[in-house]
Copies of this chain bind each other. A is one copy, B any other.
Amino acid sequence: MQRILSTELTGHIDETVTIAGWIHRRRLLKQVAFLIVRDVSGLSQVIVTDPQTREQLERLSEESVVEVTATVTASEQAPHGVELTGPVIRELSRVTVPLPFELHRPALTAGLPAQLDHAALALRHPSRALSLRIAAAAAKGFRESLEAQRFVEIQTPKIVESATESGANVFKLDYFGRPGYLAQSPQFYKQLMVGVFERVFEVGPVFRAEPSDTARHLAQYTSLDAEMGFITDHRDVMAALTRTIAGMLREIGNHADVTAELGAEIPAVHFTEALRIAGAPEDEPDLAPAHERALGEWAKKEHGSDFLFVTGYPMRKRPFYTHPDPADPTWSNGFDLLFRGLEIVTGGQRLHRYEDYVTALAARGESLEPYAGYLDGFRFGMPPHGGWAIGLERFVARLTGIANVRETTAFPRDLNRIAP
């Protein structure tokens, strides 16, 4: 099929061309019918005056797929100054059921549940498609920034023998007759791969059996993971992350008119300072969403930044693989990155000596056994290292101002939804 795209029409005035796409809208006036065809690049207007073609069009409802061969005609009133005249329409597939909602209005009027039930249709709306394009650009920018910084891409197992993060929220499966679990993160695998490539990254699904149904949790999300060796401490990781976020925003800017304020350095405050700024009691063990929001406002006001690092979270609130602050082991070399007052990245320096893992687990009263398969690799020499994980959907939601992460992924999975 030798077709051209709607955006290419202006280069073919007075020529006969073939376009193809979905019937976005028909307007059947008395003397003339307007057919708007949507393809991946945009809309084309087709003028139908021939009675037989009009009859054909009357039988083809919205979202039917057609190929249109016609003459490109300059027209001042038409979008982009061109319309198609004298069309021959070939039907590629016909819609014979009523659409659950209309696609041709500027905003989707259907509620989120209806959109998710009919995702294959809803995602065709430009507003929904744009989020997915931004997600694709974010992933591309992530990979390219990291490759430029000598990181190597890895693929790690999603079926694991035991939970990778302590505790619950793990999906259990039948692995050839014995128990297996879906990986909650590639945490230990990416750490072990630092022993191979020094710097690694992975873009892949992670699974959380989140028992709560909130606007910012998904049962499967895309994690943008990175891990790097031979660091002095978490600040080297924060510097690499800052460069990476800049690369992501740059790539997104090539595809969409959205951006965020990011300087050459992201401001950073210690956890104790963050509590003070947020007006929280100084013995608070973690930052609540309201605190994060207050910190986001503060970063914008004081530093003109949409991003803020919070460092030095209390050790007792961070996972056991976190490296303590050597100056005061109450605090950690772990950090979060807040984006407009929402945590979108967790990272930090990790323990790199096997003995330190043994000690850390014992201090928490946890058994080494479930982690033995991973930790074995730490016996064979690991450099000081650290890394991060960015939640892709949360990042896109925050960047675009979308309130619910379900709108930033094609086919979300949550407590109540396993289809389509």
Q: Report which of B120, B193, B381, B383 forms a contact with A376, defined as CB distance below 8 A.
A: B120
Interface centre among A120, A182, A204, A209 (most CB of B within 10 A): A120
- Min Cβ gap A186→B in Å is 10
Contact of B376 with A118 in the complex, beta carbons under 8 Å: yes
Which residues of B are found within 8 Å of A198, using beta-carbon distances?
A: 39-40
C-alpha spacing A96/B392, complex, angstroms = 40
Q: Does A158 reach chain B (CB closer than 8 Å)?
A: yes
C-alpha spacing A129/B387, complex, angstroms = 21
Q: Does A54 reach chain B (CB closer than 8 Å)?
A: no
Known: A97-B379, A380-B120, A380-B121. A205 touches B411 (CB 8 A): no
Contact of B99 with A380 in the complex, beta carbons under 8 Å: yes
Contact of B189 with A410 in the complex, beta carbons under 8 Å: yes
Which residues of B are found within 8 Å of A22, using beta-carbon distances?
A: 195, 381
Contact of A153 with B140 in the complex, beta carbons under 8 Å: yes
- Min Cβ gap A112→B in Å is 17
Which residues of B are found within 8 Å of A99, using beta-carbon distances?
A: 380
Which residues of B are found within 8 Å of A203, using beta-carbon distances?
A: 203
Q: Report which of B64, B140, B383 forms a contact with A92, defined as CB distance below 8 A.
A: B383
Q: Please report which residues of chain A, range 212-265, place their CB below 8 angstroms from some CB of chain B when the two chains form the complex.
A: 219-220, 222, 230-232, 236
Q: Which residues of A contact B (CB under 8 A)?
A: 1, 3, 20, 22-23, 39-40, 63-65, 92-97, 99, 118-121, 123-124, 129, 132-133, 135-136, 139-140, 143, 147, 150, 152-161, 171-176, 178, 180, 182, 189, 192-193, 195-199, 203-205, 207, 209, 211, 219-220, 222, 230-232, 236, 352-353, 373-374, 376-377, 379-384, 392, 409-411, 413, 415-416, 418-420
Q: Mind listing 22 A-B residue pairs with CB under 8 Å?
A: A64-B381, A93-B353, A93-B382, A99-B380, A118-B377, A120-B380, A124-B196, A129-B197, A132-B196, A139-B153, A156-B410, A159-B182, A159-B219, A159-B418, A161-B418, A171-B174, A171-B175, A172-B173, A175-B219, A176-B211, A176-B415, A176-B416
